[in-house]
A and B are shown apart, each in its own frame.
Chain A
Amino acid sequence: MRTIKSFIFLFALSIGITSCSDDSNGTTPVAENPLDAYSLTSSFEANGHVLELYSEKEGLTLGYNKLYLRIKEISTGTYVPNATISWNPMMHMADKSHSCPKSKISTMADNTVYTGFIVFQMASNADEHWELNLEYSFGGTTYTTSKQIEVNAPTDGNRTVNVFTGTDDTRYVLAMVPFAPEVAINDFSAVLYKMDSMISFPVVEDYSIAIDPRMPGMDNHSSPNNENLIYDRDTDSYNGKLSLTMTGYWKVNLQLLNPDGEPIKGEAVTEENESSSLYFELEF
Chain B
Amino acid sequence: MTEEKVYTSHLGQIGDFLIKFFSYVIMTVFALLTIYPLIWLMINSLKPTPEFQISKLSFPASPTFANYTGAWKIGDFDKLIGNSLIYTIGTTIGVIFLSVLAGFAFAKIKRKATKPLYASFIIGLTLTTQSLMIPLFLEANLLHIYNTRFAVLLIYIGSGLPMGLYLCTEFIKSVPDSLVESSRIDGAGYFRIFLSIILPMTVPVITVLAILNITATWNEFALINILVSKTELKSLPLGINKFSGTLSSDYGKQFAALTVGMLPMLVFYLIFRKQITKGVAAGAVKG
The answer to whether A and B interact is no
